[in-house]
Structure formats: structure tokens, C-alpha cells
Amino acid sequence: MKRFPPYLLFLTFAFGTAALAADSPTIKIISSLPRTGSANAQAQTIVNGIKMAIDEARGKVGNFTIAYEDWDDASPERGQWDPAVEAGNAQKAVQDPDIMAYIGTYNSGAAKISMPILNKASLVQVSPANTYPGLTKPGLGEANEPQVYRPSGKINFFRVVPADDIQGEVAAMWAKELGAKKVFILHDRELYGKGVADVFKRACGKLGIQVVGYEGIDPKAANYRSLMTKIKGADADLVYFGGTTQTNAGQLAKDLVAVGVRAKLMLPDGCREQALIESGGRENLNDRTYVTFGGLPPKQLKGRGKDFYENYTKKFNAEPEAYAVYGYEAGRVVLEGIKRAGKKDRAAITEAITGLRDFDGVLGKWSFDQNGDTSLKVMMVEIIKDGKFTPVKIVGM
């Protein structure tokens, strides 16, 4: 990670922030994503997406040269996003007068920390992956959400990915279609995991599926055999885990098998990554694990999306992970905002992005609504077969 060079600080004081910012033709975009830990595979693919968007614009918007920096919001101690690092990133971004956009975060819990800091500086934040509803939508999270993230009263946080209020409902609908009558719901006690588990729980209530248990697990436990025995005793036919690979979804799946629970397993998009299959063991997940995801499998994209898929595989010589498309989209949104604003001014760029309607995106035309959410509502359900995510159902196309 690059540090703010001391001489720049001196310059800033000597000539004044405004003068320096106006004279410099470079606009910096940064991303804050978990680059340490197992979420790095997803983060890498998002970074690739952002780079692709900037490369396609040849690194320029109008007179401005676009510089991109890839920041890490994780720490080796936690092995995943770290609140202290994320707060540091946000503050550093606010203080650098060249930074005009902040792409991130991956984890909703991390967004909760950087959102208010960036909001005060009206620095635009575009998230390629946060899906916790309360970040933007009033009435779906805590009573003080989302106002608490917007101390200035204005919106500066946008997401290009559909949120969990849709995902949780699609998951419950699919659980019903699979014939589940009794579900046992687990979550990792994090903002994202508990959020999506809560939506799933509510949706189960509406659909008449009985919830036989609802518990927050210890993501660092050595194993979950006792918990799985409890689930076996409760005779559940489907287990839902609101969590991520980093909060031990793999071990849960293993112990589900080890204890001999016959229930199916359903997971949200935070688990839709190859790392889940590697840590959970493909034979444990095979043919019983369902994963919901907002969007389409990269291979099935059409039009602009198909071009994206082909260019991505050609450029990086790898299959894009699920979130690559949103990294690319977030990058394009930011560039479009800078183009429309036409000046190096944080408030103007934020305003330009707020007004983005009928954007010609990878997943079709979409707009930002009054909360800063995408109008896209595409969801898919996949099953894990032979170590691969295989789509079984696409909702909302």
C-alpha cells in the first residue's frame, strides 16, 4: 500500500489544497477490497474488472488522466476485512485531494465504517459487492439506517449489485420449491451474514416454511459437530447459512456431512467463490449445496456482457469470478460520473453519479434509484456439482 509522501503534505500546506487540486490534471480512483485472506480471489477479479474499465477508456476522461490504486482493507491478523484498516483507508482517501472516487467495499460490515467518513467529504463511493439492505434502504435494517451513514444528509454511496432484500426472498422461494418444510437458519454474526439470514427468516415466515432454529455461530470454532447434531435432532430438511467462506462456511458443510445431517445447504452470494469449494471439499458440497447470487453467471451474459466475458478471459487468461462484472461496472460508473461532471470536484462527480439513469450496463440498461441502489433485480440460484457452480434458476429477467 502506498503511503502519503511527506513532501506532498508540505506542498499542500505551502500552496494550499485548492490550488494543488485544480492544477493537477490527474484524477485518482482507489479501491478498498480485501487483498489478504481467502476473499482475495474475489477481490482480484473485481480489481481486474476495474482495470479493464479504465483501460477501455485508455486511462483518460476528457483532459484528466485516470490513475488507479488498489488498496487492501484486510489484515493478516483477521484474515479478512479489518475495521481499523478500512477506517484508515477511508481517512487516507479523504485527505488525498487527487482522489475523486472510492470503489468498495467487498464486505458490508466494512462499508458501514467507511461510509460516514467518505460521506462527510462528499467523496463518491461505489460498491461492487455490498448487499446488506440497511446500507441504503430505509425500513429494512435498524431504525437509524441508512441515515446514520449519511451525516451530511446527501447520498454518496451507490451499489451496482442487487441487495439482500431480494436475495433472501429468492432463497426462501427456492427453498420452498425444493420442498423444504423445516429450515434451520445460521449466521456468522456479521452485518452481511446476519442481515441476509434475517431476510431469509422473514421470507420463510411469509411462505409458510417452519423455522426450527436460528443461531449465530462462532466463525473461529474448530468444528460444528455439536451444532450439527442439534440440527439433526431438530429434523431440519434445509440449513441456511448467512455468511461467507471467510466465516467458515466450508467447515460447516464438512461437519454437516460428518454428523450425517441429510438436509440441503443454502448459502448467499458471499460464498459464491471457488475458495468455498476448495475449503469445503467438493464431495461434501456436491449436489446438496445451493448458492444464490445477484446477477448472471459470467458465461451466460449477452450483448455488452458477452464482450466483457470474452475480453476478460483474453486479457487475464482466467475465468472471471462472480463479482468481476460488478468491478467492471463500478469502474465504468465512476468514469461516466467524472465525464458528466467535467471537472475535478468531488461534489460535482457525486451529483453526476446520483443522476445516472438508463445506464448502458453489462447486465442491460439500469438506473440508480433514490437510495443509490441499482434498478436491476436479476437473481440466480446455482447448485454445486462436480466442484462447479451450475445455474439452476434465474429469477427476474
Q: Is 317 in the site for another protein (CB under 8 A)?
A: no
The CA-atom distances, in angstroms, between 296 and each of 7, 28, 53, 300, 321 are: 47, 30, 19, 7, 11
Q: Of 20-28, 154-162, 245-253, 320-328, which part binds another protein (CB under 8 A)? A: 245-253
Contact residue for another protein among 120, 176, 181, 232 (CB under 8 A) = 232
| Residues in contact with 139: Cβ distance below 8 Å, sequence separation at least 6, in sequence order | none
Site string for another protein, 157-196 (x = CB under 8 A): --------------------------------x-------
**Minimum CB distance to another protein smaller for 31 or for 251:** 251
Cβ 371 to another protein shortest distance, Å:
31
Q: Evaluate whether 38 touches 245 at the Cβ level (below 8 Å).
A: yes
**Minimum CB distance to another protein smaller for 83 or for 216:** 216
Cβ 173 to another protein shortest distance, Å:
27
Q: Is 11 in the site for another protein (CB under 8 A)?
A: no
Q: Is 122 in the site for another protein (CB under 8 A)?
A: no
Cβ 112 to another protein shortest distance, Å:
20
Cβ 274 to another protein shortest distance, Å:
9
Total chain residues near another protein (CB under 8 A):
39
Cβ 248 to another protein shortest distance, Å:
8
Cβ 140 to another protein shortest distance, Å:
23
Of 255-284, binders to another protein (CB under 8 A) are 257-260, 275, 278-281
Cβ 284 to another protein shortest distance, Å:
9
Angle between helices 164-177 and 191-207 (to 10 degrees): 50
**Minimum CB distance to another protein smaller for 99 or for 276:** 276
Contact residue for another protein among 181, 230, 343, 385 (CB under 8 A) = 230
Smallest Cα–Cα separation from 209: which of 233, 186, 239? 239
Site string for another protein, 54-93 (x = CB under 8 A): ----------------------xxxx--------------
**Minimum CB distance to another protein smaller for 166 or for 249:** 249
Cβ 364 to another protein shortest distance, Å:
32
Cβ 109 to another protein shortest distance, Å:
17
- Here the cell at position 46 is 473485481
**Minimum CB distance to another protein smaller for 78 or for 393:** 78
Of 192-221, binders to another protein (CB under 8 A) are 215-218, 220-221
**Applying CB under 8 A, which residues contact another protein?**
36-38, 40-41, 76-79, 189, 215-218, 220-223, 225-227, 229-230, 232-233, 245, 248, 250-251, 254, 257-260, 275, 278-281
